């Protein structure tokens, strides 16, 4: 009987010890997480820039609310392709909120008419139209402070040798730089893939854009490297980044195939982001892509999680 009683006490003591220990084991990660700042408020290592409205199902339709939401999630930049189409009042609200929060603003679209020939032509009328467009960028910059404008040099001319077209593009860009450079504005040229999205355009690849920027030879003429497009056109993303580094002023992001958030295609964005971090890149990386889970609040949050995953590289 005594042995039985001792065995019962021993078992009860062991069970009690296990029960007492269990919360400590189960709760350990929770305690550790409490000591660590929640992911939602840790700034990302790089300036990934959601498009304005990318998180509208979580943040609503108001642009200022969207900016606040992005900042709360750790983003320190946004971009807005449609910035020029907004009313002056909304433009100024956007820029004032970005300044208040210390956030950067990526390049907006100044010229991107994929159905038109313009830069490839040597024409006084074309040149005048280009200069007038640059003056719009100057007025916008004076009013809002937006200083990076995206330019797509339009369609190529099938009746004119590509070398002549290249010379015309270089000359026309120099005229444009004469207008914007005194105001501190940078034009960023975007090469676009001809195979899936933009057949018939003059500017296709990073080497071509690099050669043009070197020939224009102005600090106000640079490249926006859209990694989605360049994966389709030429691949070899990191070596091309390094070769064209002196002329790259911004990046566009999107995985391929599909043009959705990183981790949904074949591009190793975690390695690319680490490479840019190691090169001390301090510019904007515009999140110009869709969502793999479209049309839902959860799909928007999945975008943020994808960037957290790719931003988790060691430093």
Per 3-state DSSP, the chain is made up of helix, strand and coil in percentages (nearest 5) of: 50, 10, 35
From residue 137, alpha-carbon distances to 94, 179, 244 in Å are 17, 9, 26
Q: Among candidates 193, 162, 188, which has minimal Cα distance to 177?
A: 188
pLDDT exceeds 80 at position 252: yes
In this structure, the strands spanning 104-105 and 108-111 are unpaired
Helix ranges (DSSP H) in 49-188:
56-59, 63-72, 88-101, 124-144, 162-180
pTM of the full predicted structure?
A: 0.86
Q: What Rg do the C-alpha atoms of the chain give, in angstroms? A: 26
Q: What is the mean pLDDT of residues 137-141?
A: 98
Q: Note the pLDDT tens digit of each residue in 30-75.
A: 333 333 444 557 999 999 999 999 999 999 999 999 999 999 999 9
In Å, what is the CA distance from 64 to each residue of 53, 97, 298? 10, 7, 21
Residue 19 in tokens: 């029960």
CA separation for the pair 175, 191 (Å, rounded): 20
Q: Give, for 27, the enclosing helix (H) or strand (E).
A: helix 2-35
Predicted pLDDT of residue 273: 98
Tens-digit pLDDT profile for residues 188-230: 999 999 999 999 999 999 999 999 999 999 999 999 999 999 9
Average pLDDT over every residue of 140-153:
98
Beta bridge partners of 248: 223
Q: Average pLDDT, stretch 147-151? A: 98
Could you give the CA distance from residue 166 to residue 212 in angstroms, rounded to a whole number?
A: 8
Structure letter (DSSP) for residue 102: T
Say which DSSP state 225 is in.
E
CA angle, residues 94, 99, 102, in degrees to nearest 5: 125
- The pLDDT, as a whole number, for residue 22 is 33
- Report phi then psi at 108, rounded to 5: -100, 160
Cβ-based neighbour number of residue 304 at 10 Å? 23
Cα angle 239, 245, 248; round to 5: 120
- Digit-coded pLDDT (tens) for 84-97: 999 999 999 999 99
- Which are the contacts of 127, defined by CB distance < 8 A and separation ≥ 6? 172, 175
pLDDT surpasses 60 at 15: no
Give dist(CA 188, CA 81) in Å, integer. Answer: 13
């Amino acid at each position: 009987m005594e042995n039985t009683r001792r065995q019962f006490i021993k078992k009860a003591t062991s069970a009690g010890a296990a029960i007492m220990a269990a919360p400590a084991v189960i709760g350990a990660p929770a305690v550790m997480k409490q000591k660590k700042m929640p992911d939602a408020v840790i700034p990302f290592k790089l300036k990934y820039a959601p498009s304005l409205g990318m998180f509208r199902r979580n943040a609503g339709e108001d642009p200022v609310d969207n900016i606040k939401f992005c900042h709360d999630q750790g983003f320190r930049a946004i971009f807005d392709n449609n910035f020029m189409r907004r009313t002056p009042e909304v433009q100024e609200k956007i820029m004032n909120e970005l300044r208040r929060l210390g956030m950067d603003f990526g390049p907006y679209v100044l010229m991107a008419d994929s159905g038109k020939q313009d830069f490839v032509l040597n024409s006084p009328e074309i040149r005048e139209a280009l200069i007038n467009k640059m003056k719009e960028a100057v007025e916008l910059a004076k009013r809002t402070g937006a200083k990076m404008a995206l330019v797509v040099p339009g369609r190529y001319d099938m009746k004119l040798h590509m070398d002549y077209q290249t010379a015309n593009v270089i000359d026309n860009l120099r005229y444009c730089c004469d207008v914007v450079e005194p105001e501190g504005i940078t034009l960023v040229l975007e090469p676009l893939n001809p195979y899936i999205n933009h057949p018939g355009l003059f500017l296709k690849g990073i080497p071509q854009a690099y050669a043009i920027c070197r020939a224009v030879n102005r600090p106000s003429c640079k490249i926006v490297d859209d990694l989605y497009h360049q994966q389709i056109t030429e691949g070899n993303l990191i070596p091309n980044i390094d070769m064209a580094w002196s002329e790259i002023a911004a990046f566009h992001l999107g995985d391929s195939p599909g043009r959705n958030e990183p981790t949904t295609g074949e591009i190793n964005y975690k390695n690319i982001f680490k490479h840019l971090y190691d090169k001390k890149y301090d510019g904007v990386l515009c999140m110009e892509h869709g969502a793999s889970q479209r049309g839902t609040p959860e799909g928007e949050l999945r975008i943020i999680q994808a960037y957290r995953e790719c931003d988790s590289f060691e430093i």
